[in-house]
Amino acid sequence: MTMFETFDTVAFEGTSSDNPLAFRHYDAKKQVMGKSLEEHLRFAVAYWHTFAWEGGDPFGGSTFQRDWYPQDSMENAFKKADAAFDFFRVLDVPYFCWHDLDLRPDQGNFADNLSTLDQITDYVGEKMAQSKTKLLWGTANMFSDRRWMSGASTNPDPDVFAFTAATVKSCMDATHKLGGENYVLWGGREGYETLLNTDLETELDHMGRFLNMVVDYKHKIGFKGAILVEPKPQEPSKHQYDYDAATCIGFLRKYGLENEVKLNLEQGHAILAGHSFEHEIATAAAEGMLGSIDMNRNDYQSGWDTDQFPNNTPEVALCYYHILKSGGFTTGGTNFDAKVRRQSLTAEDLIAAHVGGMDICARGFEAAATMLEDGGLENALSERYAGWKSAESQAMLNSDLESIASRVLSENIRPEPKSGRQEILENYVNRFV
């Protein structure tokens, strides 16, 4: 019996409900813009925060008590998988995500890690065969163990690079085996603490070469999913090489990967980089590199990645607006890279946190869809850039500085500023959220 076994599958009860374990806004089958909300949002549960995190923080240890603790045996790994799939049943979610270290304990050597990963993914595959929940993406944890303290693919030790390659191969194989729709790489230690002991050029070249190996292996095994990288500006390394969407896009272009790799973007990481989530999504979408999202939020009074569940409908709405505008998810989805607070100890807390996050996302998504169908923002953009539609303006882009300067003189061009109408547009958005 798992800690979730006594809970029924969460139902949609509508906005009049006061049941904390019911959906008030997320009606999975509701049709919006030709697809159901479930098909649009593609919700996923994060194995690491929901099942592997024990409630610790930098100043204190575990606060949770779970049937699968301690997480140092395969016996408890199987118990954790049982609990996870029972939880997926309660939420009726279509997807989940994992790191290898979430599924089973690190054995300290690659051969045993490979053996236990095979064992647990065989077991998870059996659970999946009896469930609607599929794998959105898998990834390798290459940041927790001390072997990764100086990086994974960027490590100055060639043996660590080799261990990294073997680990990622095993996780790609496991993801492929379970029918995963993406494979994610987050370089938690791909960065540096000080330039006094760092060769930047060498480390970046090694990371670029490694990612090319990943893409080559994807094609070799016939993996049809997307390869995604995840930006983050800091934590744990002081200077991360994957700072934000723009940095990652530049890196991918430098190493010839722009047509092979897309981005997995996280709300909390965007905030740490000094951006909004919608900025990161719009940046990736503009370059055709939007893959998937990790949905959460940060505490705006704290300077680190707090990974809380989303609760701000206007923020979420603008994020989904840009996702919808770019065509919506293909292989990607909405993964809740979020954790309950360390004082939230019960099974009910875990369920309610996800229910609330799914409701907020559904509210934001429907607002985004209504705004897009209304067309107000797109009309405002079209009007603001209307001057560039003329043949003369387009010809100027193919001209030169001398010709343009001559025209400014001959026509006595004296442009007057035009209003950006920001407050009017903000008021427009507020009509929907």
Active site residues: 99, 102
Q: How far apart are CA 47 and CA 153, in angstroms?
A: 24
Which amino acid is it at 120? I
Spatial distance between the Cα atoms of 2 and 393, rounded to a whole number of angstroms: 66
Instruction: Please state, in angstroms and as integers, the Cα–Cα distance from residue 72 to each residue in 13, 54, 79, 107, 138, following that order.
Output: 40, 13, 12, 9, 20
Beta bridge pairs of residue 301: none
Q: Distance of CA 430 to CAs 26, 221, 315, 318, 377, Å?
A: 20, 48, 11, 11, 12
Strands in 208-337 per DSSP E: 226-229, 239-240, 261-266, 290-294, 334-336
Amino acid at 266: E
Residues 91 and 126: their CA atoms lie apart, in Å, by 19
Residue 146 tokens read as: 């001390």
Residue 319 gets the label, from left (phi > 0), alpha (psi -120 to 50) or beta, of alpha
Structure letter (DSSP) for residue 23? B
**Residue 212 CB neighbours (<10 A):** 15
User: Collapsing DSSP states into helix, strand and coil, what is residue 299?
Assistant: coil
Q: Report which secondary-structure segment, H or E, holds 325.
A: helix 313-325
The letter for the amino acid at 23 is F
Beta-carbon contacts of 78 under 8 Å, excluding residues fewer than 6 positions away, are 120, 123
69: its two tokens: 């603790």
